[in-house]
């Protein structure tokens, strides 16, 4: 260990969101030999998709004075505690963009001392990483009760933090997006299709590692169902704005069709 002493340049009262992009590493492993020249298959360009998301989230962060770093399968957002609303909005943008590609986010939100410029470090970063790794478990953004009190959120944000069945507080990003009028028919259809498709795949696999992934998607299915039911009155009319031919094509004519699809598992 170095005997040198360092001035870490830490700032007080920094909110840090550290999140892991679930399924990213598996996608790399499974597609390592795929090229754009592969025949008889619809191939998406991962770099192009992620560049679009990077631009989207970076723009949202820059407009709000938020620090944002993305490296491989992890992303970090941070800023002064007074910018908590902007931090959550920027995180929600990342959640939205990644969800439609079937890359759920799992992370932790903490408040404390931190440094975040071109790189990031500090007690808040360390604690966020540890909470994501050992406590978050499911695709959710968690926060401890102690940090929740320090954040001093107004009710418009506080109500989006739900107490999960295991006693852990998490930010219900889907509910936040619904109340921000970000959820349309296409987004709802896509996230339901992705969840159901992943569940169908992992239900056929019996290894311990596959069981753990399946449990994550089961959690996501249940929370998506619970959230959509809670906001049924707001969401149901959205379906009437979509041509019936399109809804018939996807087999999702009404919100009830989506709820039944999720509840049928």
CA 109 to chain centroid, in Å, comes to 12
Same domain, 126 and 209: no
Find the DSSP H helices in 180-251: 185-202, 208-230, 232-235, 244-250
Residue 189, Cβ density class (10 Å: 0-12 exposed, 13-18 middle, ≥19 buried): buried
Domain-embedded: residue 161: yes
Q: Residue 25 has what pLDDT?
A: 61
pLDDT at 51: 84
DSSP per-residue codes, 102-138: T--EEEEEEEEEEEESSSEESHHHHHHHHHIIIII-S
Give the pLDDT of residue 209: 73
pLDDT of 182 reads: 93
At 102 the pLDDT is: 86
pLDDT given for residue 52 in this prediction: 86
Q: Please tell me whether residues 82 and 175 are part of one structural domain.
A: yes
Kindly state whether residues 16 and 131 are assigned to the same domain: yes
Q: Average pLDDT per run of 10 along the chain, which is 265 residues long?
A: 66 93 66 51 63 87 88 90 95 93 94 86 92 96 97 94 98 97 94 89 76 90 97 96 94 94 83
Give the per-residue pLDDT at 1. 54
- CATH number assigned to the domain comprising residue 109: 3.30.70.1230
First to last CA, the chain: 53
Residue 192: name the closest of 97, 106, 263, 107 by CA.
263
Structure tokens at 1: 């260990």
Half-sphere exposure of 57 (CA within 13 A, CB side): 25
pLDDT at 264: 80
Give residues with Cβ within 8 angstroms of 120, minimum separation 6: 16, 67, 69, 76, 78, 114
Structural domain harbouring 202: 185-263
Same domain, yes or no: 31 and 131: yes
d(CA 15, CA 151): 8
| Same domain for 125 and 241 | no
Question: Under DSSP, is residue 178 helix (H, G, I), strand (E, B) or coil?
Answer: helix
Convert the pLDDT of each residue in 182-234 to its tens digit: 999 999 999 999 999 888 887 777 777 778 888 999 999 999 999 999 999 99
pLDDT of residue 185: 95
């Amino acid at each position: 260990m170095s005997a040198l002493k360092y001035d870490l340049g830490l700032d007080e009262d920094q909110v840090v969101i550290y999140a892991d992009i679930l399924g990213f590493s598996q996608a790399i492993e499974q597609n390592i030999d795929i090229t754009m020249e592969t025949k008889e298959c619809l191939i998406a360009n991962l770099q192009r998709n992620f560049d679009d998301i990077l631009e989207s989230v970076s723009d949202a962060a820059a407009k709000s004075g938020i620090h944002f770093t993305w490296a491989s399968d992890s992303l970090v957002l941070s800023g002064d505690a007074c910018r908590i609303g902007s931090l959550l909005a920027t995180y929600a943008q990342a959640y939205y963009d990644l969800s439609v590609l079937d890359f759920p986010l799992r992370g932790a939100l903490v408040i404390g001392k931190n440094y975040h410029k071109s790189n990031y470090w500090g007690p808040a970063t360390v604690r966020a990483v540890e909470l994501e790794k050992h406590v978050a478990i499911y695709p959710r953004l968690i926060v401890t009760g102690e940090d929740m009190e320090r954040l001093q959120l107004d009710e418009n944000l506080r109500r989006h933090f739900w107490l999960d069945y295991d006693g852990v507080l998490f930010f219900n990003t889907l509910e936040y997006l619904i109340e921000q009028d970000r959820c349309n028919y296409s987004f709802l259809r896509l996230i339901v299709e992705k969840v159901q498709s992943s569940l169908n795949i992992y239900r056929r696999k019996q290894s311990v590692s596959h069981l753990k992934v399946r449990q994550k998607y089961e959690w996501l299915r249940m929370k998506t169902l619970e959230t959509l039911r809670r906001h049924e009155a707001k969401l149901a009319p959205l379906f009437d704005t979509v041509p019936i031919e399109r809804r018939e094509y996807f087999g999702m004519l009404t919100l009830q069709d989506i709820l039944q699809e999720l509840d049928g598992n």
